[in-house]
Amino acid sequence: MKKKLIAAALVLGLFSLQTPAAFAAFPIVSLPVPQTAKFDQGTATLIPPTSNSPGAWSATTTDPTIATVKGLVVTIIKAGTTGVTYTQAASGSFVSVSRVSRFTVEKASPKLGTWAPLTATLLSRTLKLTPPTSTAVALWSYRSSDTKIATVSGDALTFLDAGTTTITATQSASANWLGGEATTSLTVTSLPKILGTFTDITIAKDSVSNLNLIEPTSSSPGAWTFSIANTSIATLVGKVLTPKNIGTTTITARQAASGGYGSSTLTMTLTILGATAAVGDFKDVTYTKTASTSNTLSIFAPTSSSPGAWSFSSSDPTVASITSSGNIGSITVYKSGKTTITASQAVSGNYGATSKTMVLTVNSAPTYSTLEDLQKVVGDIPQTILPPTSTSAGAWTYTSSDPAVVSITGQKLNFGDAGTAVITLTQAVNDYWLSGSTSFKVTVLGTTPTVGTLSPVKVEVGQTLTAITNPSSNSSGKWKYSITDPTIAKVVNNAIVGVAVGTTTIIATQSPGGKYGQSNSVQAILTVVAATPKPTPTPSASATPKPTPIPSATSSATKPVVKVTVKKRVINVSVKGSIVSVLINGKKVKLGNNTVKPGANTVIVKVGPTVIFNKTYRIK
């Protein structure tokens, strides 16, 4: 009895160690994702929801006619949608749970076999079609891409003409399969046929009222029909062709299929000619393109006996384009080159179309980059000068304005004597480029020569000294002169000319010569004195009495007395004993008071051509 009590107590103890059902935990489970599969897959594996319980998952479907499940593996029966219940078994402290989703079986695309190309003779007339193999079981239908070659009725082809067409086989959709489509080519061959020619026709307008077309020869008995592309040129009724207007069109002859012969098509060109217009010259034009003009020009169509409208075209619109306005063509020039301008005259009345061409040649002056001036020293080594960049490929030649200063060998400059030379680079004509040139200056500096002093110079009023005693110098350069006061004396063509009595400064400078450069300037006093009076020649004896001579202004025994007074800016001039003329700064003035400007004012008093008074006054 005691042993039984102990055993019962152990059993009760063991039961007391188990977790009561009231304390069991529910796992955290995600929502299941609906799944799909294709009908032709056969099986698919379901993906259960996620869970924090390790319990095993199983599934069942609500419609086993669509799919059945073993574990999580689905066996597909047919297309459709069924409900799926996922169940997770209890495990440890987690109780069993279930979730519901759906599983969809989609229709599958049938797999079609290869459909080989079909060939048949036109003479065989019909052919029964056999569709390609397919994984689906469904009805087939057919169509032809060119019903002029073959037509389809059910699965039977009927041949109408030789040629090639595409046959399309379409399998209908079914409960578990989508529709499918396959294509193949059908070639229907003709019996060999021999065709004659369909010759072009050329006639003059109004030469015939109509003409009958002749059918080409053929080994086929098929009927011929004719058509014309442009009914404004001619009309065609059956085989009767009626010309209407000048121009060109295409006539097509078609022979129908017959027996085992396929159809045939031949074409020919119908040309209806008009009278030939008498057209004048259309002369070539040469135009020089410049950067400073709009580069446009107008040309006129040739004269013509036809009143037809003119139009113009350019064979190379990159050289020049042309627009038409009546019988005038407006040309716009773009670049150097040649283009053919065609003047085309349209059909008019009984005159046919005509055209004439001329060549437009466009020349351009090349453009150059700038060459910098050079400054060298006597004795410098030669220097090569490359020609500037140019739009032309013409050959270059070099010239020097003074070979003694700079001589040229090819593109090399050789420096000689001191001085300045202009170097000119000339580019020859090339293609459509004119000749051009550019230049730059070269100054060769020499040694400064050693010069002596310049002796004072004396000249009379009105006298021209073409040569004076120059200073001594070791240079052979020419001497040049300048005068500080041109109212006293001036330099004309490097000669000294006396202007008015007085003194001024003459400056002499020696130009570069040989290896010597320009000299330092030297100067001296230049004195201008009154001109030496010339004696009056004694008149020769004459039988003819002469009028009594009028005494000259200087014939008086008394020498004229000149008095000049200055007060502020007024110069007063008075003269006694002769008739005189008075000049102040070379301008003729009156005796008495004369208002002058500040500075040097030279007063000259003359008796006739002789200067009797010359003095300069400084007026403040």
Rounded CA-CA distance 21/363 in Å is 111
Single out the residue in 445, 476, 496 at which a domain terminates.
445
**What pLDDT score does 550 carry?**
43
Single out the residue in 273, 303, 321 at which a domain terminates.
273
Q: Which residues of the chain have pLDDT under 50?
A: 1-22, 541-557
Phi, psi of 17 (to 5 degrees): -80, -20
* 204, 450, 469, 618 from 201: Cα distances, Å: 10, 102, 104, 110
Domain count, the chain: 7
Identify which of 400, 377, 383 has the alpha carbon closest to the alpha carbon of residue 515.
377
Task: Name the β-bridge partners of 469.
Answer: none
Rounded CA-CA distance 171/180 in Å is 5
Q: Which helix (H) or strand (E) holds 393?
A: none
Rounded CA-CA distance 99/95 in Å is 14
Domain of 494: which CATH number?
2.60.40.1080
User: What tokens were used for 170?
Assistant: 């379409």
pLDDT tens by residue, 8-28: 333 333 333 334 444 579 999
Identify which of 113, 117, 137 has the alpha carbon closest to the alpha carbon of residue 127.
117
Examine the domain organization and report whether 318 and 265 are in the same domain.
no
Residue-range definition of the domain harbouring residue 419: 374-445
Strands (E) in 125-179, as ranges, are 126-128, 140-144, 150-153, 156-159, 163-171
**What pLDDT score does 17 carry?**
36
User: What tokens were used for 41?
Assistant: 């897959």
**What pLDDT score does 536 carry?**
61
- Asked if residue 316 belongs to a domain, the reply is yes
- Asked if residue 17 belongs to a domain, the reply is no
Q: At a CB cut-off of 8 Å and minimum separation 6, what does 13 contact? A: none
**What pLDDT score does 24 carry?**
76
- Asked if residue 540 belongs to a domain, the reply is no
Examine the domain organization and report whether 237 and 301 are in the same domain.
no
Examine the domain organization and report whether 233 and 291 are in the same domain.
no
Examine the domain organization and report whether 269 and 306 are in the same domain.
no
- Asked if residue 195 belongs to a domain, the reply is no
Between vectors from CA 560 to CA 559 and to CA 565, what angle results, nearest 5°? 140
Examine the domain organization and report whether 93 and 47 are in the same domain.
yes
Examine the domain organization and report whether 261 and 322 are in the same domain.
no
Examine the domain organization and report whether 358 and 378 are in the same domain.
no
- Asked if residue 534 belongs to a domain, the reply is no
Rounded CA-CA distance 413/424 in Å is 12
The DSSP string of 190-247 is: PPP--B-----EEEETTS-S-EEPPPPPBSS-PPEEEEES-TTTEEEETTEEEE-SSE
Rounded CA-CA distance 163/243 in Å is 35
Examine the domain organization and report whether 43 and 98 are in the same domain.
yes
Pairing between β-strand 328-333 and β-strand 296-300 as defined by DSSP bridges = antiparallel
Single out the residue in 164, 189, 214 at which a domain terminates.
189
Domain of 244: which CATH number?
2.60.40.10
Identify which of 370, 410, 365 has the alpha carbon closest to the alpha carbon of residue 388.
370
Percent of the chain whose predicted confidence (pLDDT) is above 90: 73
Sole residue written with tokens 């004795």: 379
**What pLDDT score does 607 carry?**
84
Examine the domain organization and report whether 440 and 462 are in the same domain.
no
Examine the domain organization and report whether 217 and 261 are in the same domain.
yes
Sole residue written with tokens 């009984």: 350
- Asked if residue 591 belongs to a domain, the reply is yes
- Asked if residue 2 belongs to a domain, the reply is no
- Asked if residue 451 belongs to a domain, the reply is no
pLDDT tens by residue, 219-276: 999 999 999 999 999 999 999 999 999 999 999 999 999 989 999 999 999 999 988 8
